[in-house]
């Protein structure tokens, strides 16, 4: 019997796993996809929220402010991109000022620092492209942007090098209470564990309900996004939110930490737990609503669109469901982790680990290594660093992805590091190869070739992500 099983290798599961790795437990993470960061964690706003949104006193509020505060140190420790670019909530109507005021007070109560309301003049000087219709804004300098992929991957890699076992392509089918723990049946065999931690995103209700009579319900809430070319990445420098208006809940316009412009999300409750398709209506809606925030939204600069599902819990209080299930000792939920789940993840990992420690005491591991070095980034490196990398390995001079300037050296790193990439999407999220304006048109055949070569597979076995997503259907002259 193992000590702890974590279900789900999204940002929440990986953040928990990394905290668990600090203690003398045997930990296994089960993930049904072929890589970490394959669900909600890969398709969200990439925002480290300041923390003024959540209702004071909720876990959301507490973990948001804590998680936001941890980002600088964590980014240095785990080497992922994070930037405190600040955020603004726009108010378009003098009659709505009380709503700004309420957000301000809420934020202050939650412990958000430096929060203040600014008037139009200051707003326009901070963000010249912000809509002329904005009359005032709530300014949160502590708001930030983070790469959701690299945050998740960094947490997972660091957990893995500290002894956490990751089992990918392993879907949990059944969980049963047994003496002293749980029996977890997967598509790849049966495991037994003293503790189970449920970080299964939109599927968390399913697993919770297998062991608890206090039923949980999660609704997948779809959010569609448009990503724009780096040419217009500086349209705004801060993350621009809207106060809810008669047009509904506003969308955000933000630079990404990699320098693109991101617009989204829509919000639509759906039945399909895999319904990550974009829609014409959704995309048109986004452009319309984002155009309220900024002047002349460069909608023609879209390079890709995507959709993600927030795990929206149906609860009395709008809050995360975190902690031990009342009627299932040793079964811990990290469920209903919708926005600001990405921001909360580091704090949530610590919070939940403290609870697990009470249930299953363990000593701290002396050999825990908290630091992780990321893949070198030729695109961002300065001249000196580039020269040093090329001297170290000439493959850093061999460009594979021309749009994002990703080299064969970086792709090799992505494949050969702990929890290395095995798919095209895995390469993309670790190195950005294929994320640029040509959207992998030029580099994908070469990336597929490198993957096949390094993994000792045939090109036909290489896929975009999970099984069934292979690119090639055969050789020529076969039919």
Among 306, 315, 374, 420, binds another protein (CB under 8 A): 306
Phi, psi of 256 (to 5 degrees): -95, 165
- Is residue 274 near another protein by the rule CB under 8 A? yes
CA torsion angle for 43, 45, 49, 52 (degrees, to 10)? -110
148 or 340: whose CB is closer to another protein?
148
| DSSP designation for 418 | T
Asked if residue 479 binds another protein (CB under 8 A), the reply is: yes
Does 391 help bind another protein (rule: CB under 8 A)?
yes
Burial of 275 (0-12, 13-18, 19+ CB in 10 A): middle
- Which part of the chain contacts another protein (CB under 8 A), choosing from 78-86, 184-192, 366-374, 465-473? 465-473
How far from 4 is each of 20, 52, 153, 165, 360, CA to CA, in Å?
Answer: 9, 34, 20, 10, 10
Q: How far apart are CB 442 and another protein at their closest, in Å?
A: 7
Q: Tokens 């299953």 identify what position?
A: 360
Between 58 and 305, whose beta carbon lies closer to another protein? Answer: 305
Q: Of 152-160, 245-253, 290-298, 382-390, which part binds another protein (CB under 8 A)?
A: 382-390
Per the document, the length of the chain is: 479
Element (H, E) at 177: strand 172-178
Least separation in angstroms between CB 6 and another protein:
25
Phi, psi of 401 (to 5 degrees): -100, 110
Cα 413 from Cα 420, distance rounded (Å) = 8
Integer Cα distance of 116 and 124 in angstroms: 15
Asked if 126 interacts with another protein (CB under 8 A), we say no
Shortest Cβ distance from residue 426 to another protein (Å)? 13
Q: What angle do CA 293, 147, 116 make, to 5 degrees?
A: 45
Task: Name the segment binding another protein (CB under 8 A); options: 87-95, 117-125, 128-136, 301-309.
Answer: 301-309
CB of 381 to another protein, least distance (A): 10
Tell whether residue 355 is a contact of another protein (CB under 8 A).
Answer: no
Find all residues with CB under 8 Å of 266, minimum gap 6, and list them. Answer: 222, 223, 224, 251, 282, 285, 286
The reply on whether position 437 binds another protein by CB under 8 A is yes
Residue number with CB closer to another protein (108 or 299): 299
Does residue 303 bind another protein (CB under 8 A)? Answer: yes
Q: How far is the CB of 58 from another protein (least distance, A)?
A: 34
Residue 135, sorted as left (phi over 0), alpha (psi -120 to 50) or beta, turns out to be: alpha
Contacting residue, 270, 302, 362, 455, with another protein by CB under 8 A: 302
Angle at 425 between CA 392 and CA 479, to 5 degrees: 110
Q: In what order do the strands lie in the sheet with 82-83?
A: 47-48, 144-146, 82-83
Task: Give, for 27, the enclosing helix (H) or strand (E).
Answer: strand 27-30
Whether 98 is catalytic is no
Out of 188, 209, 279, 355, name the contact with another protein by CB under 8 A: 279
Q: How many residues contact another protein, by CB under 8 A?
A: 56
Shortest Å, Cβ 221 to another protein = 18
394 near another protein (CB under 8 A): yes
Nearer residue to another protein within complex by CB, 121 or 383: 383
d(CA 166, CA 37): 13
* Selected catalytic residue, list 49, 208, 258, 312: 49
Cβ proximity of 120 and 216 under 8 Å: no
Site for another protein in 205-264 (CB under 8 A): 227, 231
| Residues at the interface with another protein (CB under 8 A) | 227, 231, 274, 276-280, 282-283, 302-306, 383, 386-387, 390-391, 394-395, 397-399, 402-403, 405, 437-442, 444-445, 449, 459-460, 463-479
Supply the residues annotated as catalytic. Answer: 49
């Amino acid at each position: 019997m193992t000590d702890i099983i974590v279900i789900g290798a999204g940002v929440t599961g990986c953040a928990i796993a990394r905290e668990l790795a600090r203690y003398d437990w045997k930990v296994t993470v089960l993930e049904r996809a072929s890589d970490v960061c394959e669900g909600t964690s890969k398709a969200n706003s990439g925002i480290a929220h300041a923390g003024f949104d959540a209702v004071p006193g909720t876990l959301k509020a507490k973990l948001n402010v804590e998680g936001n505060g941890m980002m600088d140190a964590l980014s240095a420790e785990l080497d992922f991109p994070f930037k405190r670019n600040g955020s603004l909530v726009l108010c378009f109507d003098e009659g709505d000022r009380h709503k700004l005021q309420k957000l301000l007070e809420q934020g202050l109560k939650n412990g958000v620092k430096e929060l203040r309301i600014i008037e139009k003049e200051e707003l326009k000087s901070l963000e010249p492209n912000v809509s002329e219709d904005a009359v005032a804004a709530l300014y949160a300098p502590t708001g930030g942007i983070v790469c959701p992929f690299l945050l998740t991957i960094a947490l997972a890699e660091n957990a893995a090098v500290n002894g956490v076992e990751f089992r990918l392509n392993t879907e949990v089918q059944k969980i049963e209470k047994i003496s002293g723990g749980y029996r977890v049946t997967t598509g790849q065999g049966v495991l037994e564990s003293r503790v189970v931690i449920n970080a299964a995103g939109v599927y968390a209700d399913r697993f919770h309900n297998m062991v608890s009579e206090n039923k949980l319900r999660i609704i997948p809430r779809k959010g569609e996004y448009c990503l724009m070319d780096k040419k217009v990445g500086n349209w705004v420098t801060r993350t621009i939110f809207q106060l809810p208006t008669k047009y509904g809940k506003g969308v955000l316009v933000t630079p990404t930490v990699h320098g693109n412009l991101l617009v989204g999300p829509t919000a639509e409750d759906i039945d399909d737990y895999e319904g990550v398709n974009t829609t014409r209506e959704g995309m048109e809606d986004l452009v319309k609503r984002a155009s309220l925030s900024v002047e002349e939204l460069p909608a023609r600069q879209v390079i890709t669109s995507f959709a993600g599902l927030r795990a929206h819990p149906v609860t009395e209080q709008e809050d995360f469901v975190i902690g031990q299930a009342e009627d299932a000792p040793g079964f811990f939920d990290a469920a209903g982790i919708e926005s600001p789940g990405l921001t909360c993840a580091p704090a949530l990992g610590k919070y939940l680990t403290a609870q697990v420690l009470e249930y299953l005491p363990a000593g701290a591991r002396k050999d825990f290594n908290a630091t992780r070095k990321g893949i070198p980034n030729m695109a961002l490196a300065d001249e000196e660093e580039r020269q040093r990398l090329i001297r170290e390995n000439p493959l850093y001079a061999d460009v594979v992805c021309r749009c994002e300037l990703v080299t064969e050296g970086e792709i090799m790193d992505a494949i050969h590091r702990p929890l290395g990439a095995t798919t095209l999407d895995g390469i993309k999220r670790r190195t950005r190869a294929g994320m640029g304006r040509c959207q992998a048109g030029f580099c994908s055949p070469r990336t597929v070739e490198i993957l096949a070569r390094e993994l000792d597979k045939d090109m036909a076995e290489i896929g975009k992500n999970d099984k069934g997503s292979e690119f090639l259907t055969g050789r020529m002259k076969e039919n």
